[in-house]
Amino acid sequence: MDDESTDEALRAIAEPRRRAILRLVAHQELPAGRIAEHFDVTRPAVSQHLQVLKDAGLLIERREGTKRLYRARHEGLAPLRQFLDEMWAESLDFARRIAEGERGLSDRQSEAG
Amino acid sequence: MDDESTDEALRAIAEPRRRAILRLVAHQELPAGRIAEHFDVTRPAVSQHLQVLKDAGLLIERREGTKRLYRARHEGLAPLRQFLDEMWAESLDFARRIAEGERGLSDRQSEAG
DNA sequence: CACCAACGTTAGTAGCCGCTTTCGTAAGCG
DNA sequence: CGCTTACGAAAGCGGCTACTAACGTTGGTG
């Protein structure tokens, strides 16, 4: 449940600016320059954010001439919802295993490290 | 939808170690030292993580003698789920406003900054 | 070809963050 | 009172990260 893709997506949306970008292109395709106009940082900064979001699978890039259109990829957010859901379900089972065989932890202390 | 508490909780669970801690105390009350045993970092490091999680409203601390018991506060995760849900719903309305009156953006460019 | 527009990319920098070490504090025990 | 246990707090350090400035690249236009 805590695979690398979830971690990448989580770190991506942990940044306020990236969340704002994500909302901008949530249901509307926009070019990079247009996105950058909404913020008071330089365009390269926005480009880097777009790259991070793209690597996290939260964005889709489409090239049209010299322009590059960006659009949110909603499936990319699904793992995060799944993570939150499993936070309830699986952890219950994990807690039960601790309660039943807690002495087992002394044998392998660094299982979560 | 993007208030400070959501941002705080989001940054808290963006850290892998904090997620592991959160799962450990998801349904089981544990003392700080017991939590630290599961990781290969020092106890103060874990204490700092516990502080961050507590400030984010994701943890509850209960003192019992010299020990401090920690337990997950599930309501703290609710804003995150709400954030993800609104990522779909509200952004649709926002996109519609852009599509209908996009020229309005030139009047107030930095509305999202 | 030259020229410009729209981007991404690459140093380089300031600030944040997770960690360790050291010290301080509160509770229980004799 | 001293001693130990179980912690948090403060200071300092190394690595990451978001940013700017300069450069490179691709595509369109004449």
**Could you tell me the residue range of the domain that residue A71 belongs to?**
4-76
Contacts of A24 (CB under 8 A, 6+ apart): A30, A35, A38, B112
What's the CA gap between B50 and B54, in Å, rounded? 6
**Longest Cα separation, chain A:** 64
A19-28, A29-38, B95-104: least confident range: B95-104
pTM: 0.81
Residue B108: its pLDDT value, please?
37
Within a domain: residue B11? yes
The answer to whether B59 touches B31, Cβ cutoff 8 Å, is no
Q: How confident is the model at residue B109 (pLDDT cuts 50, 70, 90)?
A: very low
In a domain? residue B88: no
**Å from the A14 CA to the C1 C1':** 48
In a domain, A95, yes or no: no
Q: Do B28 and A98 touch (CB under 8 A)?
A: yes
B68: β partners: B63
What number is the average pLDDT over the span A59-70? 96
Q: Specify which residue's alpha carbon is closest to the C1' of nucleotide C27.
A: B66
Q: Quickly give B47 CA vs D12 C1' distance in Å.
A: 18
Distances B93 to A27, A28, A41, B90 between C-alpha atoms, Å: 9, 11, 26, 5
pLDDT category of residue A86 using cuts at 50, 70 and 90? confident
Closest Cα in chain A, distance from residue B51 (Å): 18
In this prediction, residue B113 carries a pLDDT of 26
Does residue A93 lie in a domain region?
Answer: no
CATH number of the domain that residue B52 is part of: 1.10.10.10
**What's the structural domain count of chain B?**
1
Cα–Cα distance measured from residue B15 to residue A10, given in angstroms and rounded to the nearest whole number: 9
Q: Do B14 and A19 touch (CB under 8 A)?
A: no
For residue B37, tell me if it sits in a domain: yes
Least confident of A39-48, A100-109, B21-30, B62-71: A100-109
Judge whether residue A108 has pLDDT over 50. no
Average pLDDT over residues B24-32: 95
Q: Flag whether B28 is in a domain.
A: yes
Q: Identify the pLDDT of residue A30.
A: 97
Is residue A83 one of the residues assigned to a domain? Answer: no
A6 with A38: CB under 8 angstroms? no
Which residue from B14, B23, B92 is facing A10, i.e. has the nearest CB? B14
Instruction: Give how far Cα A25 sits from Cα of A48, A49, A55, B74, B87, Å.
Output: 16, 13, 16, 31, 11
Per residue in A24-46, pLDDT tens? Answer: 999 899 999 999 999 999 999 99
Mutate to test the interface with A, among B3, B5, B6, B10 (most CBs of A within 10 A): B10
Q: How far apart are CA A33 and CA A25, in angstroms?
A: 13
The Cα A47–Cα A56 span in angstroms is 14
Distance CA B7, CA B106 (A): 29
Residue A42 inside a domain? The answer is: yes
Q: Residue B22 above 70 pLDDT?
A: yes
Contacts of A107 (CB under 8 A, 6+ apart): none
B27 to A95: CB separation less than 8 angstroms, yes or no: yes
Mutate to test the interface with A, among B1, B4, B41, B80 (most CBs of A within 10 A): B80
